[in-house]
Amino acid sequence: MSRILAIGIAALTAAAPLSQAVAQDRVPRGDRERPQHEQQDERPRVSIGEAVQRASSGRPGRFLGASDRGGTIVVRWEYPGGRIADIMVDGRTGRVIGER
């Protein structure tokens, strides 16, 4: 079971830099030429792979999937016994916000 989790996390981590490169190409030229002090205000985003690692830390069970919903990354998790939960991770800080 942990082998499947490790493969899933590795696949998500490998896909994240590619999606960021594509998104960077879509930035209008005006935003690229902003003054440097304005660019420093933006904090880097947490990748989906990192969010999955933080959500799974210390939790028994298995990873089912993850989705990026704006500023929040939702990690679907199955606990032993079959209960399924959505774990919310802040997309900027990587902090686990909550679970439902």
* Cα end-to-end distance, the chain, whole Å: 23
More confident residue, 70 or 95: 95
pLDDT for the residue numbered 67: 95
Distances in Å between the Cα of 62 and the Cα atoms of 3, 48, 73, 74 are: 11, 16, 17, 14
pLDDT for the residue numbered 13: 72
Per residue in 47-94, pLDDT (tens digit) is 999 999 999 999 999 999 999 998 899 999 999 999 999 999 999 999
DSSP strands (E only) in the chain: 62-69, 72-78, 84-90, 96-99
To 5 degrees, how large is the angle CA 74–CA 77–CA 79?
Answer: 155
pLDDT for the residue numbered 41: 43
